[in-house]
Chains A and B, each alone.
Chain A
């Protein structure tokens, strides 16, 4: 049973460019959340997707957008990259119901460097 997978593992971009990160949830999970983690900090909640809709958003600008597909996989898009966007981007999946509701399992992350 595959856990949460993310691609790519590493990415280097320059300021002003756009980037798309991808996530496949753990089998049986239908909810996907995205986080940004800067060095030495805890993960910061970007948004959560369920039923192909963004249902909760953290304090991130509109440059951060996402999408969820019918197979529950998800993409995170960041436009007009800034140096400060350099971070580890984590995807987490969870079931929307049952005893494990809200228990999130994380992928290995995508390390984004903006030059």
Chain B
């Protein structure tokens, strides 16, 4: 299995531009999570999906952030417009099953820099 795939691995953009991060979960997994990692705030859960449906988006910082999961094998996290404080590493993770003890498998992350 290829694991969770994220693209791009690095993104540098200018303030005000739209940024789209992509994630392909492990085939067959029915939960997908988006996290953000910064020095100041650590690892934060932004949103998670079950069977392509958003379940909890309480971690999404503001309306500039949106996430979609059009099908079981693809999800996007969009920031529009981007701001320098959005600079962070964004991780996608997936898991199988509805039990908390099911392991979340993390992708390698996308390092976003907003100038």
Is B one of A's binding partners? Answer: no
User: Hey, which bits of chain A sit against chain B, CB under 8 A?
Assistant: none
User: Hey, which bits of chain B sit against chain A, CB under 8 A?
Assistant: none
